Amino acid sequence: MGRLSGFKYRDVINKLEKFGFEFIRQAAGSHEIWSNPATNRYITIPNHPGDMPEGTLRAIIKQAGISIDDFLKK
């Protein structure tokens, strides 16, 4: 298990909101579009039950322009 394992959808959303991301709209299926007006970045987040796969979370963090260390500290 890596450093990014064990995060649920709600945990990820709470951390991203601390970085300034806001819900924009529902996307296809169970995915959501979030945006950060300050950095003008958009990310797509799957809203699935259970833990988010580590690779998916790593891609979301990269898309958001946040370092993994900063994400884990917030």
If 0-12 CB within 10 Å is exposed, 13-18 middle and 19+ buried, where does residue 61 land? buried
The structure's pTM equals 0.91
What CATH number does the domain located at 9-73 have? 3.30.920.30
In the sheet with 41-46, reading across from the earlier edge strand, the strands are 22-26, 31-36, 41-46
pLDDT of residue 1 exceeding 80, the answer is no
Q: List the chain domain ranges.
A: 9-73
pLDDT tens-digit profile of 29-68? 999 999 999 999 999 999 999 999 999 999 999 999 999 9
